[in-house]
Structure 1
């Protein structure tokens, strides 16, 4: 595990890491390819550190991205040790102690916890689930059994990525890939999406795009036409637009955005496979985030307004695990456009929807750091939110 961030605000780590090396701001700016003015604002808490800029700084320091962003504290050391033990026994199965029906029910329960961003509860239940599906898959030796293993490891990756436990995330997608190869093309597409997610969270965006491109080619050349194929391609294009946005590759991002929008039109509503959504609404969620990464903040807010227009006719049906980060990204764009009050309102909604996620999410942490730095007078709303995040304000 890397550095633990006990106080929200990954940007606060930048000055610490720079001074540890005896570097001045101008040297770090030169080495990372960002302006000295922007670096100064990030360190002073006047501008939020984005993950794209954090990746550039991490490369300049020759550090993993998690060292710059900081890892979230472990809510339960015992549960994490039990999870690592279950993962180590991937090739050392025991006799199955749960039926297919019981394991399917456990996966469904896990999906609900994941969708509601109950991170602590997910961690507490994952060790038993990982062991159960692994033992069953070895005994049954069926594609369905191995698909359940891949699904369980997808949740391990999701949990690890939320906390920026990147060694665990990397290990999870390795096991997920092995299981998916014995399952079906859809499991393989989800595995590729999560593998690209590790590269995303490591700040290795080009490599992540290569994983996405390879998986898209395989699906397009081998999977039969139908909803499963469209879903598989859709989730890969969502990951592709995120990676391209972090790279500030506007043409590539726009290509993934256009393809995702086209595929989403095949679905009247978003479909969900164990917590991984694709359809018109989740495409809009990813587009908002990508526009923010590309500094198209007005378009991000415009997309959000279109998504939430006419809530009676088109209610937002995505779970908190999607809607909370959506609000964080809208807050980021509003702050970038100088709307501090609007940013605070969006951040309050993000915390109300998924407090456990908001507490550990780097965007939420950074926005709070900047808002508390920029506000020079009393603001009861911001004070209440800062207290929930354990920030002295």
Structure 2
């Protein structure tokens, strides 16, 4: 069975706002009817489809709900290159074989090398190469965990599942993302550790973003924070709580009720800042995740953009050099996309374009799969109304027709 058959759902080369127009028509809805069902102004929906306004996460969730779709269906799943389809099929097979470890696949040296390679590709936002190594890594980590049966081995396996979830979320493969977090939780439960449990809860909460159900995701986060505060102490507790609050910020910023979104986001921002203050000046890496004062600044900026508070986002600009120092492309590129979104909201088209270029230079593959990069580029191009070599370059990298 081919990869496309195993992963039902709409794939698209379109930016989210363009894709919204396509699926609205496919559902036989007029703009007026969809806007009424979603509870958004008709003028806003018209501007989004025309390319004059950005489709935001909260609006995507609202129109998705109105059509009985998850937010990832509104955005459209990113397409997979033909030469990567086999790796995706093999990854799905490895996920199915979670309790059927391969004999002889648990060589310590090979497993350690493969895990280090996957970590490197993830940090670089090299999704193509990461997809290529994950099937072998997952089988090796599974065999290793079953063979040595230690808490460390099961935590390593849970990290691999977390990486599968991360990749699936980037492509908006909702079924694969959900399966990955289910397997991740299963791995944690074999030899439980509170930190691995916190990371698993963080990833599970993230799956709710795919369906536009940020409220339920926040419930998962709040329960996990209480468990981390109960089961951990010292630096480990602060790191776990910080990781969970960062996820809480993102979820809160995408709640459809703007008043509730602001209240919940500010609550998680305050909590993250409080624990980050005790973690020193540099971030730490925990099971593939970056947490601490630096990433807290970056998540605050992104959350303010999602909340429609671009001035507060741009007020953090002076803090960005220190916040970004030493962090991987997985943090650098999305942050510049967030800055571009804020600047677009403020009418600063040239600065928005500049930050999109910085994001693309830091992680070129973000142009092909990140919906917010692609949507921001679409609207910047629409509003720019003149030929621009940088627009042409980014559009070519993104595979978009502007």
What's the CA shift for 1:315?
6.3
1:84 to 88, 92, 97: 92
2:145 to 137, 151, 168: 137
Q: Distance in 2 between matches of 1:315 and 1:173?
A: 28
Residue 282 of structure 1: aligned partner = 295
Q: How does 1:1-80 map to 2 (within 5 A)?
A: 1-7=8-14, 9-75=15-81, 76-80=84-88
Q: How does 1:119-198 map to 2 (within 5 A)?
A: 119-182=127-190, 183-198=192-207
272-281 or 129-138, larger mean C-alpha shift: 272-281
Residue 250 of structure 1: aligned partner = 262
Q: CA RMSD in A?
A: 1.4
Q: Distance in 2 between matches of 1:100 and 1:233?
A: 32
Query: Does residue 373 of structure 1 match 2:387?
Result: no
Query: Does residue 317 of structure 1 match 2:326?
Result: yes
1:100 to 93, 108, 119: 108
What's the CA shift for 1:147?
0.7
Change in CA separation of 1:99 and 1:226 when aligned onto 2, cut-off 3 Å: farther
Q: Distance in 2 between matches of 1:136 and 1:40?
A: 54
What's the CA shift for 1:317?
1.5
Residue 3 of structure 2: aligned partner = none
Q: Distance in 2 between matches of 1:120 and 1:19?
A: 32
Whether the 8 Å CA contact 1:324–1:358 is kept in 2: the answer is no
Q: Distance in 2 between matches of 1:5 and 1:15?
A: 12
**3-state SS of paired residue (2:290):** strand
1:389 to 392, 395, 398: 398
User: Which residues of structure 1 form unaligned runs of 5+?
Assistant: none
**3-state SS of paired residue (2:315):** helix
**3-state SS of paired residue (2:98):** helix
Q: Distance in 1 between matches of 2:249 and 2:86?
A: 37
What's the CA shift for 1:101?
4.3
Q: How does 1:216-227 map to 2 (within 5 A)?
A: 216-223=225-232, 225-227=233-235
User: Which residues of structure 2 form unaligned runs of 5+?
Assistant: 1-7
> Using CA pairs below 8 Å that are at least 6 residues apart, which structure has the higher relative contact order?
1
Whether the 8 Å CA contact 2:238–2:279 is kept in 1: the answer is no
Whether the 8 Å CA contact 1:96–1:136 is kept in 2: the answer is no
Whether the 8 Å CA contact 1:193–1:212 is kept in 2: the answer is yes
Query: Does residue 301 of structure 1 match 2:314?
Result: yes
Whether the 8 Å CA contact 1:284–1:304 is kept in 2: the answer is no
Q: Distance in 2 between matches of 1:325 and 1:178?
A: 30
Q: Distance in 2 between matches of 1:125 and 1:276?
A: 19
What's the CA shift for 1:65?
1.8
Residue 358 of structure 1: aligned partner = 367
The two structures have a TM-score, normalised by structure 1, of 0.95
What's the CA shift for 1:274?
4.0
Q: Distance in 1 between matches of 2:279 and 2:108?
A: 30
Q: Distance in 2 between matches of 1:137 and 1:63?
A: 37
Counting matched residue pairs gives 387
1:264 to 261, 273, 276: 276
What's the CA shift for 1:15?
1.7
Q: Distance in 2 between matches of 1:113 and 1:377?
A: 37
What's the CA shift for 1:357?
2.1
Whether the 8 Å CA contact 2:105–2:139 is kept in 1: the answer is no
Q: Distance in 2 between matches of 1:170 and 1:29?
A: 30
Q: Distance in 1 between matches of 2:87 and 2:348?
A: 41
Residue 5 of structure 2: aligned partner = none
Query: Does residue 239 of structure 1 match 2:234?
Result: no
